[in-house]
């Protein structure tokens, strides 16, 4: 079974600054995906960024980037130029890659990010 650990329950960052959210995971699988989801106060789950485990290059989506360390089983999210709209819960998630079939997501417990003026 897979586990996902987010050790920072809460983080705060000033607007325009950079913040890094931590995530570690444990798995015996070799093929998988990792994700960061954002859950604003509306509770809608929004996919922020995705990383394929077989890719060495770190994924980037505009102001969001990841630091994927496969050997260390670490997957941190960096938010640059933080904006007030980034205030939300952030969840790290794991998906086993099962060839030919969709698979369930395993989530961490989340990090509550507050962006301040």
Partner 1 sequence: NAGVMQNPRHLVRRRGQEARLRCSPMKGHSHVYWYRQLPEEGLKFMVYLQKENIIDESGMPKERFSAEFPKEGPSILRIQQVVRGDSAAYFCASSPQRGTYNEQFFGPGTRLTVL
Closer residue to partner 1 (CB): 100 or 117: 100
Q: How many other CB atoms sit within 10 Å of the CB of residue 113? A: 21
Which stretch in 14-22, 36-44, 63-71, 75-83 sits in contact with partner 1 by CB under 8 A? Answer: 36-44
Answer yes or no whether residue 64 interacts with partner 1 by CB under 8 A: no
Answer yes or no whether residue 3 interacts with partner 1 by CB under 8 A: no
Among 28, 42, 56, 57, binds partner 1 (CB under 8 A): 42
């Amino acid at each position: 079974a897979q586990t996902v650990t987010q050790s920072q329950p809460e983080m705060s960052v000033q607007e325009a600054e950079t913040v890094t959210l931590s995530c570690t995971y444990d798995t015996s699988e070799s093929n998988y995906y990792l994700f960061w989801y954002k859950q604003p106060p509306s509770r809608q789950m929004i996919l922020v960024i995705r990383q394929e485990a077989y890719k060495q290059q770190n994924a980037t989506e505009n102001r969001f980037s990841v630091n994927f360390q496969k050997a260390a089983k670490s997957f941190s999210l960096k938010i640059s130029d933080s904006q007030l709209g980034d205030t939300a819960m952030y969840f790290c998630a794991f998906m086993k890659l099962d060839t030919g079939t969709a698979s369930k997501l395993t989530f961490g417990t989340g990090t509550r990010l507050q962006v301040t003026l």
